[in-house]
Chain A
Amino acid sequence: MYDVATAAVEAALSAGARYADARVMESRSEVMGARDGHVEQVDRGERAGVGVRALIGSSWGFFAIPDPSPAAGRQAGQRAAAIARASTRVAGPPVELVDVPSVTGSWASPCEVDPWSVPLDEKASLLEGVTRTMREHGADTALATSNVWETRKWLVTSEGTRVDQHVRECGAGMNATAVGDGETQRRSNPGIRGQFGTRGWELVRSLDLAGNAARIGEEARALLTAPQCPSLDATDLILGSEQMALQIHESVGHAVELDRILGWEAAFAGTSWLDLAQLGSLRFGSDLMRITADATLPGALGSFGFDDEGTPAAAIEIVRDGTWVGVLAGRDSAAVAGLPYAGAVRADGFNRLPMVRMTNVGLVPGDSSLEAMIAATDDGIHMDTNRSWSIDDRRLNFQFGCEIGWEIKGGKRTRMLRNPTYTGISPRFWGSLDMLGGPDEWTFWGTPNCGKGQPIQTGHTGHPSVPARFRGIRVGVRG
């Protein structure tokens, strides 16, 4: 497929581009869904095509065709250049792409059990079984899904980069819904959508869905009669690692995307409360807060060998001992910001423009544990598993809801609480972090549904996470 990408780049250059790159991508996907003991959906998808970026002056153009042939590549290159030329009608100041050495290479994600080799009836048996179990243990509706994605892509740039990658991802999850007179309650496992990674089917087998299905059904039912999470202006809040992954994704990951900081997403996804002038000095959280964006973590959902501009995967410090020190960047945004690194640009398919996306943005573990946090808390609430998430367009003011909570009194977890929610302002919230789980509880959560961009793209991101305790948090917000 390199010949297709090369033809596309050459066509764009011949049509006047001063830089061009082309991605040929072949991908396939499979989703299976079961409801209440029966498989309800088996859907497979296959996509193939070429997408080309062309740069004329400081103006970009992109065109994609669902046809990975040299002729289509040439056509896409010409069209991308024509679009770039149209962009020059409303052009910005001159920009150079931040320097990245041209590379050649290949990369493949680790995979012990090829998800495509697992018989569909084995997948069906798993999903049907757990939904039956959840129904037998209190769920009015029980759902389970599995997903498989496989992508092969070939990138060629006019600067000489030629890289190809083979990425296999999969995951699964389940949820139980109990319906009461006035409301519904839901429990999910392992997380709100399941768990996902750049791994083979061994990931799904490690989840032990069957071993958790009864508990999930029972908890959904029990939540209907559990007391409401109290409305408190300030309490100690302990979050499980799954909810922490969401907390990191929404309030840190998106906030440090350089395109948002520069205003490139202002009209749609929004901006960021972070000001580049404060990079290196701004206090984002307490000393315990150490965040990295590490695209090299084996098996994490945001891992790759090279980003979609050909920048080799790397680990970038984002927050060091509570101080904001890094961003997620691409070659053009880094150049505009005067930063020396890129490496966080991806597209969700051949037909989408590569843009700044999270890699694996997560916490470096601390030295505590969930058990120790509960024991150290006189009066507080433990919440876990994300149910709702809402945050303002600057990624500052958030309100998140969890599926389940527990009251903590005198260092012990006591009664279950329903409808737990908490709210905060990001740096104040992170500044109250005072206990952090250790390496034993470090989990690489995968988020397969990160929406961003126009046209919308669905990104796959990873979030290494541990349980954490925050002090003086407002909980139980109700209308």
Chain B
Amino acid sequence: MSAARPGAGRAETQALLLAERVLGLVRARAASAEAEVNVRTGTLALTRFANGVIHQNVAEELREVGVRVALDGRVASARLDGPAGDDKLRALVEGVFEAAAVSPVDDDWPGLASPTPSPDVDHWDDATADASPDERAALVASFVSAAEGLVTAGAVSTAAVHAAFASTAGQAVTGRGTSADIDGIARTGTSDGVARHSSVRVASLDAAAAGRRAARKARDGADPGDLEPGRYEVVLEPSCVADIVDFVLVHGFGGRAVHEGRSFVRPGEAQLDPSVTLRQDVADPRLGGLAFDAEGTPRRAVDLVRDGVTGAILHDRRTARLAGAESTGNAALGPNPYGGVPASLILEPGATSPASMVTSIERGLLVTDFWYTRVLDPKTLVITGLTRNGVWLVEDGRIVRPVRNLRFTQGYAQALGPGNVKAVGDDPTLFSHGPDDQLLVPSLHLASWAFTGGAKG
């Protein structure tokens, strides 16, 4: 029944064989059990630097096996991150049946995904998968030297993951993905400037350009002054927008939040500005991602927001069943209270450059990063957080001076609401948390943002 992806290499095939070994043990233990198995193998490596030197440099081999079984409606799951010999796999299977046996009947068990082909995607790069510590160190060296003497800190990471899924329902799929990231700051003593770059391919990372950008932003932000809190028009760089979209996705478009009435989303209504289009599409070449989720469901291309009108909700099979809908392929590995986690999401860019956003502002702020954002109320999606890595006051279309970090308390859904989005940037930027958690967003120009405190309280 093996059905590795066409073109799958040895690692993917072996991952699938391992998944099927576990399924075989499940069948031997209880022929009537439903079961799904996820296998992840690969390498993760990350080189950190601070004060201009590499101070932490790590790598690991990844080998994880997860199994979920349902027997007579009783469900349990177990994971193994270690040797995958027959004795360990038998113990894994025995343990999950033991847990299922004493679990109560799960009335909301949605059953297994039926065999369905996945989208034909392969966000992979051999050079990234094989990247050496010397290559990562060379990228760090380029960033540090490009910062022209400023103190630097950050990280360069590369990851390569092979994934396989197999179930007793006959679904058997494989995939793979790579990611490479550089994320660093340059520091003047009174300011930090940041630059980031993510890609499927390590060769795409321009560490020197990132170092130069971080240094320029740090110098431009040096010796910031205070600014009175209040409502300001803002240009938010993509990192801030990624933060907004992350919260909107989990608390707004998560199937569990919608089912329990904790979400602001009312599908079909024009709840957001007409310039906002937010969609999931793992096949989009601008970002990465695996073609299937932890339940083996193909990741569906869906519009969460189209021209400001809210639409699809992100479901795993459990929340889809509760909603009378189909899974969108957003099940997470392991325990997950959210029900439908985002992957391969795109906030569609517009046609306005960040520079022209700034020139159109009479009085407002240009913000680089948000930091430590936390939910005050999930339904209204009121969030508090701070700015970081550079804020500038804009007057009469010109950046006039850097300002100290500010605290804000702002409704994120309201921020994207009708009339509040003045322009969407032409600078789509990839944010990656590994090969299977990727987000592409541009800058945004918003009419109003509530800053509620200054650096001094």
Binding site for B on A (CB under 8 A): 26, 31, 33, 38-49, 51, 58-69, 79, 82-84, 86-87, 89-92, 119-121, 124, 128, 140-141, 143, 177, 179, 182-184, 262-268, 270, 351-353, 355, 387-393, 396-397, 399, 401, 419, 421, 423-425, 428, 454-455, 474, 477-479
CB < 8 Å neighbour of A479 from B50, B53, B60, B408: B408
Q: For residue B455, which residues in chain A have a CB less than 8 angstroms away from its CB?
A: 392, 396-397
> Is A46 touching B260 in the complex (CB atoms < 8 A)?
no
> Is B184 touching A267 in the complex (CB atoms < 8 A)?
yes
Alpha-carbon separation in the docked complex, A402 to B405 (Å)? 24
Given contacts A124-B104, A183-B377, contact A143 B337 (CB under 8 A): yes
Query: B13-21, B132-140, B348-356: which one contacts chain A?
Result: B132-140
> Is A390 touching B83 in the complex (CB atoms < 8 A)?
no
> Is B153 touching A263 in the complex (CB atoms < 8 A)?
yes
> Is A66 touching B133 in the complex (CB atoms < 8 A)?
no
> Is B46 touching A266 in the complex (CB atoms < 8 A)?
no
Most A-side CB within 10 Å, residue of B99, B138, B184, B388? B99
A119 to chain B, nearest CB (A): 7
B403-435: which residues lie under 8 A (CB-CB) from chain A? 405, 407-411
Query: B74-82, B277-285, B288-296: which one contacts chain A?
Result: B74-82
B141 to chain A, nearest CB (A): 5
Chain B: number of interface residues, binned into ranges: 35 or more
> Is B61 touching A90 in the complex (CB atoms < 8 A)?
no
> Is A397 touching B407 in the complex (CB atoms < 8 A)?
yes
Query: B111-119, B162-170, B360-368, B379-387: which one contacts chain A?
Result: B379-387
Q: Which applies to chain B's interface (DSSP): helix, strand, loop or mixed?
A: strand
> Is B59 touching A83 in the complex (CB atoms < 8 A)?
yes
> Is A455 touching B335 in the complex (CB atoms < 8 A)?
no
Minimal Cβ-Cβ distance residue in A for B144: A90
Binding site for A on B (CB under 8 A): 44, 46-64, 75-83, 91-92, 95-96, 99-100, 102-104, 106-108, 132-134, 136-138, 140-141, 144, 151, 153-155, 157, 183-185, 187, 192, 194, 260-262, 334-335, 337, 371-380, 382, 384-386, 388, 405, 407-411, 450, 452-453, 455-457
> Is B384 touching A399 in the complex (CB atoms < 8 A)?
yes
9 A-B pairs with least C-beta separation = A86-B133, A48-B82, A92-B53, A479-B409, A479-B450, A267-B153, A120-B102, A47-B81, A266-B153
Alpha-carbon separation in the docked complex, A202 to B222 (Å)? 55
Alpha-carbon separation in the docked complex, A268 to B103 (Å)? 41
Minimal Cβ-Cβ distance residue in A for B187: A266
B187 to chain A, nearest CB (A): 7
Instruction: List 26 A-B pairs, Cβ < 8 Å.
Output: A40-B106, A41-B77, A42-B99, A64-B58, A65-B61, A68-B83, A83-B58, A83-B59, A86-B57, A89-B138, A124-B104, A141-B260, A182-B380, A184-B262, A266-B50, A267-B155, A351-B81, A387-B376, A388-B384, A389-B372, A390-B407, A392-B405, A397-B456, A399-B407, A424-B457, A455-B46
Q: For residue A128, which residues in chain B have a CB less than 8 angstroms away from its CB?
A: 104
Q: For residue B376, which residues in chain A have a CB less than 8 angstroms away from its CB?
A: 387-388, 401, 419, 421
Q: For residue B334, which residues in chain A have a CB less than 8 angstroms away from its CB?
A: 43, 45
> Is A87 touching B184 in the complex (CB atoms < 8 A)?
no
> Is B77 touching A47 in the complex (CB atoms < 8 A)?
no
